[in-house]
């Protein structure tokens, strides 16, 4: 279940309230079921996946990809699997933990684990959105944001691309004022 924490201390857990707050940024948040296939569920429970297993998971979710190809022109997708045993995980994630934008949309379908997207609002206020399994997010091109993992440091996410060139972070040097601890406190 998504949780939105605003810089002013207000927290939203209802999906419609969260969507309303994100609408000024044109950020799209939806719930997409992964399905009940026991083999896919087993694979999602594994800490890491080899390339064949990743392909098996992606194929099981092809309906969403085909829909995005038709409605939004996405051309490719991959599956990223992050867990605490990856060497230099913190170093790999550091480039996304700073305020940045992208020339292309950042589109993620979280299928296991959880992460946090932070946003700078149109009024300059900041917010952090905790997203979990079966949640899909589209952060439009040019939206000032950042990303970090929760303390579990575990996520499996399908990334959708119209092209991979527009996905390079362009840093804005905006100071993040909202505390990671405030989002963590909401998680309990």
Residue numbers belonging to the annotated binding site: 100, 102, 106, 145
Going from the C-alpha of 30 to that of each of 11, 21, 115, 136, 167, the distances in angstroms are 18, 14, 15, 5, 21
Q: Which of 47, 34, 23 is nearest to 132 (CA)?
A: 34
Token pair 């419609």 in the structure block, residue: 16
Q: How many CA atoms lie within 13 A of 65 on its CB side?
A: 16
Cα-based angle 135, 139, 143 (whole degrees, multiple of 5): 150
Q: Which of 29, 26, 25 is nearest to 14 (CA)?
A: 29
Phi first, then psi: give them for residue 138, nearest 5 degrees: -125, 115
Query: Which residues define the annotated binding site for Fe(2+)?
Result: 100, 102, 106, 145
3-state SS class at 53? helix
Query: Which residues define the annotated binding site for Ni(2+)?
Result: 100, 102, 106, 145
Which neighbouring-strand residues pair with 81?
156
Q: Which of 43, 19, 45, 41 is nearest to 30 (CA)?
A: 19
């Amino acid at each position: 279940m998504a949780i939105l924490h605003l810089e002013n201390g207000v927290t939203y857990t209802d999906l419609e309230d969260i969507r309303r707050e994100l609408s000024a940024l044109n950020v799209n948040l939806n719930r997409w079921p992964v399905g009940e296939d026991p083999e896919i569920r087993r694979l999602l429970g594994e800490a890491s996946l080899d390339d064949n297993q990743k392909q098996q998971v992606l194929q099981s979710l092809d309906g969403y990809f085909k829909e995005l190809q038709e409605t939004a022109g996405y051309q490719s997708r991959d599956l990223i699997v992050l867990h605490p045993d990856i060497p230099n995980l913190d170093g790999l994630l550091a480039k996304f933990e700073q305020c940045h934008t992208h020339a292309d949309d950042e589109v993620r379908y979280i299928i296991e684990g959880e992460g946090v997207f932070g946003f700078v609002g149109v009024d300059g206020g900041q917010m952090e959105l905790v997203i979990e399994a079966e949640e899909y997010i589209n952060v439009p091109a040019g939206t000032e944001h950042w990303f970090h993992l929760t303390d579990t440091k575990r996520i499996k996410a399908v990334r959708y691309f119209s092209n991979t060139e527009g996905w390079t972070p362009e840093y804005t040097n905006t100071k993040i004022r909202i505390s990671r601890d405030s989002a963590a406190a909401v998680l309990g």
